Structure 1
């Protein structure tokens, strides 16, 4: 994606004192330099300038500071998984129309790819390059050209996410099965205890709950996961009872685990039957 034309410094450095664009309304504001992005108060049609997003000269390669800022953008988007945004690249009017359209599109794509690598649902992101067709300042001055070289985040719609399905983890023979589950935000996980002893489930050191048991009756503990992230759990007494819940904005497949329950079941005879189906299917 890197272009080599010398003398075109298409960075996205925006002055701290630069004015807000007219698209901003109410409490929906572009983040000030050094401040994180917040989408509270924003609605469809609002656009925010990402002043902290910079690229190498004449390139779509993000700078380290731009990556740091996009990590904050990713966090905000993952916490708001139904928001759909356009990532818009803009340039000044140096060089040709075609050149600037290509560079702005490559930069928008680069920002999208980074956000996806940070865990944002690709369906939330629409990259679009506008070249120099939408200036916000006078390209006749160096200050104006600096303002025109920018990336904007525009709210363009709302995603309808599939309803989260409940999932189960079965504990027997002092092991949790499946040991790792990937679920969408909002899913509820139920741990079913088929051991003849109780287990204390804790998450990354924070106590969750004791799953009491009467031998092989399948006592349960349930917990809903609303926030995207990785959650490690283990029994505080029995180290082999452990696993990971990976919560994503969306998932493609749903794992169903069922235990054959029958009279006289013992931990040594425990089996867990698993099936995998398309999520939403």
Structure 2
């Protein structure tokens, strides 16, 4: 059973100059591993938090300390060298993250971005994207054209009013035919106050459009900016309730094994 979306950090780390948020608490590796143990989860994926920018050193330290139990998704500068990515790869990093919430959309057709995506493709890395659904179809199409596999965060973040009728969400589901698109059914609270209802509606649509084997579960621990209302057990319980079929749940919790190289 694999958790594909979590973050670790502590207040002593250097924060990125450009950031939307910085937590006033610690979420260290040992506490995350305790969440996995307490909830019967065998493996986890650490996603570089946006507020730490491109300094992946703590992420790498945690992957090393976890001795193969965890994998990582890094944030890098588009100018990162082949050697930079190779070192991350050797530490257990298996992909890049583009957290584009609140940021200008990058032009992925520029030589700089094409070069980075080519390096990622050669390492057989995935690219993980967090962005509102309205902008996802164009972004995902560009990424797929570069040859990389694509993972979308948090149901694709459909519009809180339109829900699964969001044209961006609808267009995203059609890209599932490529078989190179995965979606995390995680953090419904990030789609707004009605997020759980939207998640329950989105799940069967995503399952039917992408295939059950292209869905991933993530805890989103420690639920940054939603710490007061969420905890690990609660997020797992929502997943269990939403995916009522035990066979489906078991499959979704094992889907990440190949994509994240757990063997």
**TM over 0.5, yes or no?**
no
What is the TM-score with the length of structure 1 in the denominator? 0.27
Q: Which has the higher helix share?
A: 2
Q: Which has the higher contact order (CA 8 A, sep 6+)?
A: 2
Q: Which has the higher strand share?
A: 1
What is the TM-score with the length of structure 2 in the denominator? 0.28
**Rg larger for:** 1
